[in-house]
Structure 1
């Protein structure tokens, strides 16, 4: 009887310990740097995955437009670095996105493809919300004029050609008057 209890206890311990030893944590997440924006503001969408080095990961392809409301302006290269444990990698790809339509937009989950020694699997990211708030309009004031552009101050770079032109004209005028005076006095110009 004691032998059977020992065997059952060992089997239970083996079952409880083995997932922790042999299980591999693979975590895919999607985040944005700002959840609330105004129309036309730009934010970064980050797709990241933590995985063991032995697994080959294929990043999802993000189209130029997400759900017809969110535009992808720029794609950045995939950054790879060691996660806390040496056997794990963290890979991040970021996208510059914007939206011109107000409302709450849901960025759908993206699927990372995993390949471990011929075994193919996929891992989804989480869904992300993007709130685009419209600019409040004061209806009590009525229509207002568009402001005229502000005049920029004049810089030295802009004025330099005029200053040099005036100095050159002054030098030419001085040389002409000097040469006329020297000829009247019957003296050589130089």
Structure 2
């Protein structure tokens, strides 16, 4: 009801203004109260009466607030009350002030356009008294209150725990990255030296002799294994393509390298071809002789590394 009465009065005033000054734009301001305490909120109603073909361009509240030393808290919409016989507009705002004493609120500027001409209408100014809260001189001075200490809770330690976790994660990431860099910087471990060709050949010859396949009638299997050991040794020791070569090709390479001047390896290869392809059956002594000839060749032609070259970590057996 307190706000309703000023609104009705403002509308009544607008009607009077409109009736007495038809064709003009009139602005009025109505305060809810002319006396407030410092810091209180105070309502103000803006009423605008204008011809129906008037366009309101702007209401300059900023200039009005600065001049009146007040602070706008809430600015309502500019509502249309009626459009006939005149245009009646109304707006509600709330402001406060922290300066005590008497305030003269200046006129409010409303910029409008009528019949293609832009102009400014101004309201009358208002008076406002801002009172301070009275202080009783004989009031007792209250003693300072003790600081209230809140009990320590588990959640109080949460920021510390999170900070420690972040530090641990950062340290872990740095350590991990450093370890990866060190691993990348370290040269790869050197490969172990290859097993010498004569060690491989002598071990296989020993196994072949222990099996003694010729004693069970498998002359072809024994001769095939024996010539394979010889071919593998020649390939590993002299880099000859002996595993894929025929016996005549191997004999030719041996003659070129002067490795079989007595013809013992030629006899071994030819005997093996006779057993494998002509199905010959030589005496047991021939098999033993071929085995010993290959072993002697491997032993006498084995590679001896220089003094500064590492040896393979194997047990060399020689006969």
Pairwise same-fold verdict (TM > 0.5): yes
Corresponding residue for residue 128 of structure 1: 126
Corresponding residue for residue 141 of structure 2: 143
Give secondary structure in 2 for the equivalent of 1:63: helix
Instruction: Determine whether 1:81 maps to 2:91.
Output: no
**CA separation of 1:46 and 1:146: change in aligned 2, threshold 3 A:** farther
TM-score (norm 2): 0.36
What do residues 38-60 of structure 1 show as CA deviations (whole Å, max 9, x unaligned)?
Answer: 11110112222111111112231
Q: Is the 8 A contact 2:68 2:104 kept in 1?
A: no
Instruction: Determine whether 1:56 maps to 2:32.
Output: no
Q: Is the 8 A contact 2:30 2:46 kept in 1?
A: yes
**CA separation of 1:34 and 1:21: change in aligned 2, threshold 3 A:** closer
Corresponding residue for residue 282 of structure 2: none
Alignment partners' CA distance in 1, 2:111 and 2:32: 25
Give secondary structure in 2 for the equivalent of 1:66: helix
**CA separation of 1:145 and 1:88: change in aligned 2, threshold 3 A:** farther
- 104, 107, 111: which is aligned to 1:106? 104
Give secondary structure in 1 for the equivalent of 2:99: coil
Give secondary structure in 1 for the equivalent of 2:74: strand
Alignment partners' CA distance in 2, 1:97 and 1:54: 31
Alignment partners' CA distance in 1, 2:61 and 2:20: 35
Which protein has the bigger helix share?
2
Alignment partners' CA distance in 2, 1:122 and 1:69: 22
Corresponding residue for residue 69 of structure 2: 69
Which protein has the bigger strand share?
1
Cα displacement (A) at 1:103: 0.7
Give secondary structure in 1 for the equivalent of 2:136: coil
Q: Is the 8 A contact 1:109 1:127 kept in 2?
A: yes
Give secondary structure in 2 for the equivalent of 1:67: helix
Cα displacement (A) at 1:87: 2.1
Alignment of 1:85-96 (within 5 A): 86-96=84-94
Cα displacement (A) at 1:68: 7.0
User: RMSD across aligned C-alpha pairs, in angstroms?
Assistant: 2.7
Alignment partners' CA distance in 1, 2:137 and 2:106: 36
Aligned length: 126
What do residues 53-86 of structure 1 show as CA deviations (whole Å, max 9, x unaligned)?
Answer: 1111223121295337311111111111117xx2
Alignment partners' CA distance in 2, 1:43 and 1:134: 15
Corresponding residue for residue 173 of structure 1: none
Q: Is the 8 A contact 1:45 1:94 kept in 2?
A: yes
Q: Is the 8 A contact 1:106 1:128 kept in 2?
A: yes
Shifted more, 32-41 versus 67-76: the winner is 67-76
Q: Is the 8 A contact 1:103 1:131 kept in 2?
A: yes
TM-score (norm 1): 0.58
* Bigger Rg, structure 1 or 2: 2
Alignment of 1:30-41 (within 5 A): 30-41=29-40
Q: Is the 8 A contact 1:66 1:72 kept in 2?
A: no
Structure with the bigger RCO (C-alpha within 8 Å, sep 6+) is 1
